[in-house]
Amino acid sequence: MGHAALVIGTSGGIGRALADALIDEGRFERVWCASRSTAGDIHIDLTDEASIANAAATVAAGPTLSLVIVATGMLHDDHRRPERSFRELDAQWMAQNYAINTIGPALVAKHFLPLLPKEERSVFAVLSARVGSITDNALGGWHSYRASKAALNMLTKTFAIELARTHKRAICVALHPGTVDTGLSKPFQANVSAGHLFKPDRAALQLLDVLDDLKPVDSGKHFAWDGEEIEP
């Protein structure tokens, strides 16, 4: 039996492009597309652990799962934007950021990491952001988003350590896709330098190229779209 890939977040621009690229490459017997909406063939709501567990049971019945990409994230909504000052901090908004950007992907790891093969190369990747790097933070602001992504990067590291004890060839990483022309970045594109606003299909191929080059020694790290390692 062949292998399968899973992309979570196929209702978003990057997630859809990643799934399409994997299908076009034809390397996997099955590419599972998961979304909270009807944009996937599996329903996953990151705020509902039961939906994640049910999806894992469905995937477990198919080909061996060797690639999981969590292509989800929240930066703003119809009413709120990232905070420019600590004076704008709001408990509910912070909790919402953590629910989508940190806790949801962590619950995905809880249910899907056990499905990865123990003796073969496998990859579990989450979309993070350069602004989640504490070292790289020179501007401040965007408190809830930065903190939730920094927490996601820490979880990726701890998952990698635990996974290595039983899955010697597994790779668990966080990825920074750059600024991609999607709804998530739309309000902030005016300040993007020329040549650094990527279309989703280009961003997807860049990320898959990064994943293809990674080795188990890279597990637990955070990489940008061009393969550069981002400091914690």
pLDDT category of residue 1 using cuts at 50, 70 and 90: low
Using alpha carbons, list the distances in angstroms from residue 66 to 27, 164, 227: 11, 15, 21
Q: Give the pLDDT score at 59.
A: 97
Q: Are 34 and 44 in contact (CB under 8 A)?
A: yes
Kind plus residue range of the DSSP H or E element containing 173: strand 170-176
Amino acid at 101: N
Q: Which of 137, 155, 156, 159 is nearest to 146 (CA)?
A: 137
Containing domain of residue 189, as a range?
3-224
**Phi, psi of 45, rounded to the nearest 5 degrees:** -110, 115
In the chain, % helix, strand, coil (3-state, to 5) comes to 45, 20, 40
Q: Could you report the per-residue pLDDT of 30-40, keeping only the tens digit for each?
A: 999 999 987 67
User: Per the structure block, which two tokens stand in for 170?
Assistant: 């597994």
Task: Tell whether 139 is covered by a domain.
Answer: yes
- If phi > 0 it is left, if psi is from -120 to 50 it is alpha, else beta; for residue 98 that is alpha
In a domain, 114, yes or no: yes
CA distance 4 to 124: 12
How would DSSP label each residue in 89-136? --HHHHHHHHIIIIIHHHHHHHHHGGGS-SSS-EEEEEE--GGG-STT
CA distance 18 to 10: 8
Q: Distance between CA 102 and CA 124 in Å, rounded? A: 15
Number of structural domains, the chain?
1
Summarised one tens digit per residue, pLDDT across range 152-208 is 999 999 999 999 999 999 999 999 999 898 877 767 666 776 677 899 999 999 999
CB 48 within 8 A of CB 23: no
Q: How confident is the model at residue 105 (pLDDT cuts 50, 70, 90)?
A: very high
pLDDT of 124 strictly over 90: yes
Examine residue 177 and state whether it is found in any structural domain, yes or no. yes
Report residue 63 CA to chain centroid gap: 22
Is residue 193 assigned to a domain?
Answer: yes
Identify whether 174 is part of a domain. yes
Q: Is 39 exposed, middle or buried (0-12, 13-18, 19+ CB in 10 A)?
A: middle
Would you say residue 229 lies in a domain? Answer: no
Cα separation, 166 vs 27, in Å, equals: 25
Q: Is 38 domain-assigned?
A: yes
> If you average pLDDT over every residue of the chain, what do you get?
94
- Is 32 inside a domain boundary? yes
**Which CATH number is 60's domain given?**
3.40.50.720
| Mean pLDDT, range 107-127, rounded to an integer | 97
